[in-house]
Amino acid sequence: MRVLMFDIDTLRSDHLGCYGYGRDTSPTIDAIAAEGVRFADYYCPNAPCLPSRASLITGQYGIRTGVVGHGGTAADLRLQGESRHFTDDYSENGLFMQFRRAGMHTVSFSTFAERHSSWWFNSGFNEMYNVGKRGGESAEDVTPHVLDWIERNGEKDNWFMHVHFWDPHTPYRAPASFGNPFEDVPLCDNWITEEIFAEHLMHIGPHGANEINMWNDDQNAQFPRHPGKISTMAEMKEFIDNYDCGVRYTDDNIKMIVDLLKEKGLYGEDLAIIITSDHGENIGELGLYGEHGTADEPTCHIPMIIKWPGGKKGFVAEGFHDNVDLLPTIKELLGTPLFGTDYIYDGTSYAKTILEGADCSKDSVVLTQCCHVCQRSARFGDYVYIRTVHGGYHLFEKEMLFNVKEDPHQLHNLAAEHPELCAKGAKIIIDWVDEMMKRSNYPIDPMWTVMKEGGPEHCRGQLEAYIKRLSGTKREYGIPLLRAMYPNEK
């Protein structure tokens, strides 16, 4: 058996054709989806990059692993403690180790571990290829190494390959030679009207239209597709075009790999393919552009596509799942044993969905973001309920409620109209926290560790400088609001 996993950074599911997108961003991914199972409502429970992959690899939520942030204590996996033996349980029970336990030779093409000093990510790999750019690379840096490995080793049996592409991630970086295939293609639903864009130009907070570069409008000449700010509707469209270029450029590189496998006769029933992402992207939603800094629908709704030997074909799995579910699923599909006796996965296996089309979904999922803001959200029914503890110097309401089926871009906060749904969402979060803390070996919720250490990593120490930037502009209305909302911060 051979298994190929495409781990595509910052890939919004709703920008793929197989998820209903109207632009031609993903013909190769769409074709693979038609050969396997596509999960309609799949979520990143701990956004963004580092917390998400910690959950993916461990099969546990960040509230248990301790990884919910990008800095401070909450950016490191918690130590196992006195129950640790010669090796630790995270390493032995992690996602990639399952393929090793199943007798496969494992190889990864990724810079993730170095980018985040998260060396646990490499556990289970026989080979690791790091092109050395710490996530600044584009697909043309990665794909040649993948093709070379397949040329040398592809015909061997029993291998697992992890291929990590960063191209949809900020800064948008598809090479200039790729051009803009979407230049003359209109946006799909044109939800950002002139009136809405005018509101975005008045947004208070990082990664708004005036500060694409988080806290200022600086632009890196190395990444001409990623401007420091956007001021017009035409620039807004070009910005979305460039995100879609990153998706299509990734898809084209996946095609090169798939084509080589087909040429060598390796693309058959016994080849499994997994396609997923760590998180999505806000592209105008909540006033944010080019960032994955919230616990909402565009940031946390991710694709999951699995083509598996003997599995369903062209099947769409409805219902809620999240990325801690993949590990117990792989364990069931491969039949690998648990290492030790005390390790508990938080995920639910959906192996029977892949093989039989059975419903293995959950009633709801809880989403956490503690890198740019501190938020917990509940996704249930047609709704996402978002509860903000620290808004990252945005002026978010403490409670937000959106009907994401009718309002996918989160334009209408329904919290005041539906307190009963807010209460339902809050109860889902409270009950989930209680259950996770019962399972945890640590008595502290790591979200509150982030708060006690100064708040989300990406906004620490930025308030006064940002207020200075707002002074004398049309947005200085936000200065007293920021001071009132964050009275003890600088």
pLDDT at 22 over 90: yes
Residues 305-324: pLDDT tens digits?
999 999 999 999 999 999 99
Per-residue DSSP letters for 282-346? Answer: EESGGG-EEE--SSSHHHHEE-EEEE-TT--SSEEEEEEEEGGGHHHHHHHHHTPPPSSS-----
Residues of the chain with pLDDT > 90, as a percent, come to 97
Output the pLDDT for position 61: 98
Distance between CA atoms of 342 and 422, rounded to whole angstroms?
A: 36
As a whole number, mean pLDDT of residues 44-49 equals: 98
Output the pLDDT for position 1: 95
Output the pLDDT for position 151: 98
Per-residue DSSP letters for 252-286? Answer: HHHHHHHHHHHHTT--STTEEEEEE-S---EESGG
Residues 142-180: pLDDT tens digits?
999 999 999 999 999 999 999 999 999 999 999 999 999
Mean pLDDT of the chain: 97
Distance between CA atoms of 143 and 155, rounded to whole angstroms?
A: 18
pLDDT at 126 over 90: yes
Residues 71-89: pLDDT tens digits?
999 999 999 999 999 999 9
- Whether the predicted model's global pTM rises above the 0.95 cut: yes
pLDDT at 30 over 90: yes
pLDDT at 342 over 90: no
Output the pLDDT for position 340: 83
Residue with tokens 């990623």: 226
As a whole number, mean pLDDT of residues 436-456 equals: 96
First to last CA, the chain: 55
Ordered strands of the 383-390 beta sheet: 46-47, 364-369, 374-380, 383-390, 399-403
Closest Cα to residue 206, out of 250, 180, 163, 170?
A: 170
Output the pLDDT for position 189: 87
CATH 3.40.720.10 fits 2-359, yes or no: yes
Output the pLDDT for position 28: 98
pLDDT at 105 over 80: yes
pLDDT at 490 over 90: no
Residues of the chain with pLDDT > 70, as a percent, come to 100
Output the pLDDT for position 351: 98
As a whole number, mean pLDDT of residues 256-283 equals: 97
Residues 419-429: pLDDT tens digits?
999 999 999 99
Output the pLDDT for position 396: 97
Boundaries of every domain in the chain: 2-359
As a whole number, mean pLDDT of residues 225-244 equals: 98
pLDDT at 256 over 90: yes
| 238 phi and psi angles, rounded to 5 deg | -60, -35
Distance between CA atoms of 3 and 78, rounded to whole angstroms?
A: 30
Output the pLDDT for position 341: 76
Band the pLDDT of 58: cuts 50, 70, 90: very high
